[in-house]
Amino acid sequence: MCANDNDLLNHAAEFHLGKAIHEVDNLIYRNMLAQGRKYGYDQVTVMNGWIVKYLGLNQDKDIFQKDIEKEFGITKSTVAGIIKLMEKKGFIERISVPHDARLKKLVLTDKGREYEEKMGAQFRRDEQMYRENITDEELTIFIRVLNKIKQNVKE
């Protein structure tokens, strides 16, 4: 353990985990907004971008509003508003499924697929930047700790 690790351990009791997570979230959010402006896909919000990406990665599956709620941990009413706006902007459409006319699966339009393709390269670059100088072992521990924090908050 290096001196920096000892310093971290000595100050761990004073460390505000929630504040640190919030700061990192803000940095990532601002970076994503800046990249969106730079590459001309700032017509949708960051959450819209995540949803487009999710739908793009799951084109072979039927994805419904409840799946978006679960995947992103957001409420039914929030998702309904987001979906309505994304549909209005022409990024997604709702399509009835044969087995239940009440259910509407969410699919990307041509505009949504084009956006997802352009944005996908940027997502990969961002992920590479986030993981820079982080070993596989550190990443595994980080993921494990994040999952524990999520579980603690849910309890």
Closest CA to 153 of 73, 35, 37: 73
Answer whether residue 64 shows pLDDT above 90.
Answer: yes
Judged by DSSP in three states, 38 sits in helix
Average pLDDT value for residue range 122-138: 91
User: What per-residue confidence (pLDDT) applies to 24?
Assistant: 92
Q: Of the spans 10-14, 49-53, 78-82, which averages the highest pLDDT?
A: 78-82
Answer whether residue 6 shows pLDDT above 70.
Answer: no
Q: Of the spans 30-34, 94-98, 122-126, which averages the highest pLDDT?
A: 94-98
User: What per-residue confidence (pLDDT) applies to 137?
Assistant: 96
How far, CA to CA in Å, does 78 sit from each of 58, 88, 125, 129?
Answer: 21, 16, 29, 30
Average pLDDT value for residue range 112-120: 85
pLDDT tens-digit readout, 37-53: 777 666 667 788 889 99
Q: Which domains does the chain have, with CATH numbers?
A: 48-154 (1.10.10.10)
Average pLDDT value for residue range 131-153: 94
